[in-house]
Amino acid sequence: MKIDFELNGRAVSVEAAPMARLLDVLREDLRATGTKEGCGEGECGACTVLIEGRAVNACLVPTVQVAGQKVLTVEGLAEDDRLHPVQTAFLKYGGAQCGICTPGFLVAAAELLAEHPSPTRLQVREALAGNLCRCTGYQKIVDAVVAALTGEVEPAGAPGDADLDRASRTC
């Protein structure tokens, strides 16, 4: 079946089984491999994408349901070279270690930022409760998201050497 939708602002058209998981269509057919698979059953949030602005697990969405809809993945967060504030904050606070969970956290945090300009720390934790991380212990992720939400971290240009150096030192 031919399914048309909008991916990160671009019109795309795929030939897929209607019940194919959006996760597989993104990764296999559209080669947008930023979205990760962890559990495949809605528990871990690694596959989080926004559909019409709402964070959902792409492993649980049959592709037929995104026909005509707007899908945003981690690849769509940065605008040209300008990183999304949560991306900058993850760099600054060491919110990523192995990185498998990171795209899901970034997308879930982006929804939060769009919805709640000033959530409490508890609300941040609640909004990210569907995202699991085996590496960081969550503290740095929550710190990063809180910083992005309070506007402490502004959207930035492409990461410079200093940022990447700092990011690699947190591994």
Partner 1 sequence: MLTTSQSPVYVAHSLDEALVLRAAHPEAMPLAGGTDVMVFIEAGAIDPPGFIDLWAARDMAGVADADGGLWIGALTTYTDLERDDRVVKAAPALVEAARTVGAKQIQNRGTLGGNIANASPAGDTLPVLMALDAEVEVASKARGTRRIPMDALYTGYRTLAVAPDELITRVFLPTPHPADVQHFRKVGTRLAQAISKVVFGARVRLEQGKVTDARVAFGSVAATPVRCPRVEAALVGRAPDPAAADHLLVDIAPIDDVRSTADYRRTVAARTLRSFISSLA
Ligand X SMILES: Cc1cc2nc3c(=O)[nH]c(=O)nc-3n(C[C@H](O)[C@H](O)[C@H](O)COP(=O)(O)OP(=O)(O)OC[C@H]3O[C@@H](n4cnc5c(N)ncnc54)[C@H](O)[C@@H]3O)c2cc1C
* Chain residues in the site for ligand FES (CB under 6 A): 37-40, 42-47, 57, 59, 96-101, 133-136
Q: Are 42 and 31 in contact (CB under 8 A)?
A: no
HSE toward the beta carbon, residue 143, CA cutoff 13 A: 12
CB of 85 to partner 1, least distance (A): 19
Q: Where are the beta strands (DSSP E) in 16-163?
A: 48-51, 54-57, 70-72
Positions that interact with ligand X (CB under 6 A): 41-43
Q: How far is the CB of 43 from partner 1 (least distance, A)?
A: 6
Kindly tell me which of 47 and 113 has the beta carbon lying closer to ligand X: 47
Q: How far is the CB of 170 from partner 1 (least distance, A)?
A: 26
CB 32 within 8 A of CB 26: yes
Q: Is 19 in the site for partner 1 (CB under 8 A)?
A: yes
In contact, 72 and 8? CB cutoff 8 Å: yes
Distance CA(72)–CA(49), nearest Å, equals: 6
41 is an interface residue for partner 1 by CB under 8 A? yes
Q: Which residues pair with 79 in a beta bridge?
A: 82
Per partner kind, with CB cut-offs from 5 to 8 A, the member of partner 1, ligand FES, ligand X, none near residue 21 is partner 1
Backbone phi, psi, residue 80, to 5°: 50, -120
Q: Which is nearer to ligand X, 33 or 65 (CB)?
A: 65
Q: What is the DSSP letter of 105?
A: H
Q: Which does 129 bind (CB under 5 to 8 A by kind): ligand X, partner 1, ligand FES, none?
A: partner 1
By beta-carbon proximity to ligand X, the closer residue of 43 and 152 is 43
**3-state DSSP call for residue 169?**
helix
Binding site for partner 1 (CB under 8 A): 1, 17-21, 24, 28, 40-43, 45, 48, 54-57, 59-62, 64-65, 67, 108, 111, 126-131
